[in-house]
Amino acid sequence: MIEGGSHVAIGHGKVILLGEHAVVYGRPALAAAIGLGARATAERADHDVLTIAPWNVRVEPSVDPGAPELARAFAAVLAQYPEGRPTLSVAVDVELPGGAGLGCSAAIGVSVIGAIDDTLGVAREPRARADASLAWERVFHGNPSGIDGTMAACGGIAVFQRGQPLERVAPREPLRLIVGYGGEASSTRAMVESVARQRDRAPERVDQVLDGIAALVRNGRLAIEAGDHAALGKLFDLCQALLSSLMLSTTKLEEMCDAARRAGAFGAKLTGAGGGGCMIALVGDASAAPVREALAPLAAQIFDVEAGAP
Ligand code: PMV
């Protein structure tokens, strides 16, 4: 679990409950922070450097288009601070798998910005921190909706829509999810571009699917507020079918969703960009252990999370 502390800045990982991809096109999405994420500290140093110890990564900022993404993302963040600021060493610890649809890059970006803010005495609201993280996210994702950075900074469960205030959602009952990472990393940029190409070719068909997903989001919010997990699970299943129709699912994701449903989950779907990465299954106290067991032979990693938990 990620814990706060003096000068430790947090970025939450997240799951998208409903609404991925549609959110890129201005529709609402329902997302929840999870109790896994990134934390960062910063201190003055003789030059700028970013280290991510669990990945054995150490980069200096660079604007060279051929430089590693992390070096360019670090440079994009630092460029937002005044010239002549002290140079900094930023150290990040991360618990999330990368490229899995759990908002790993945004969690790191938000924690890095938080650590720099704390060290330089910059005070800003979480949503402003999320906005600042867009420059970081663009390096990895091209055209991010901003949902990952917003959840990384703000936490909780919320309906996110581009350009609108974040709407907090209060669950009537705790929402327990089993997250299965299939072990196939996926590229959010590639999956977002694939949907864009399909939409160029068949705008009406794709927009109908995106509108269908938006309707699921509105109903999902009501189900969460009513504590109706059976209804929410059905919405997960419907959303998975719509996402599959956009060719975002994989055999592995389908197998994991099927296994979770057969083991008693209320519903299951891919989460995030798809094309690999993670699925989420909504479970109750009785189905959590059977679903974990059913996923064990299929998943590379399994996480048991409470949606919206700090
Ligand atoms: O970064 P991921 O894999 O969690 O996916 C983000 C969700 C998308 O809707 C696919 C893209 C976006 O920017 O909203």
Q: What's the pLDDT tens digit per position in 127-169?
A: 999 999 999 999 988 778 999 999 999 999 999 999 999 999 9
Output Rg (C-alpha) for the chain, integer angstroms.
Answer: 19
Q: Which amino acid is at 236?
A: F
Looking from the CA of residue 14, the nearest atom of ligand 1 is 4
Kind of pairing between the strands at 88-94 and 49-52: parallel
DSSP state of 5: B
Q: What is the spatial distance between Cα 32 and Cα 305, in angstroms, rounded to a whole number?
A: 10
293 alpha carbon to ligand 1 midpoint, in Å?
A: 28
- Whether the predicted model's global pTM rises above the 0.95 cut: no
188 alpha carbon to ligand 1 midpoint, in Å?
A: 6
Q: What's the pLDDT tens digit per position in 25-60?
A: 999 999 999 989 999 999 999 999 999 999 999 999
Q: What is the spatial distance between Cα 52 and Cα 37, in angstroms, rounded to a whole number?
A: 13
Q: How far is CA 213 from the centre of its chain?
A: 18
Ligand 1, CB within 6 Å, residue ranges: 16, 20-21, 23-24, 101, 103, 141, 144-145, 147-148, 188, 192, 272-273
CA-proximal residue: ligand 1, atom 13 (nearest): 144
In the structure encoding, which two tokens stand for residue 146, read together?
């901003």
As a residue count, the chain comes to 310
Q: What is the spatial distance between Cα 8 and Cα 38, in angstroms, rounded to a whole number?
A: 10
Beta-carbon contacts of residue 268 (< 8 Å; ≥ 6 apart):
233, 236, 237, 240, 256, 257, 258, 260, 261, 279, 280, 281, 282
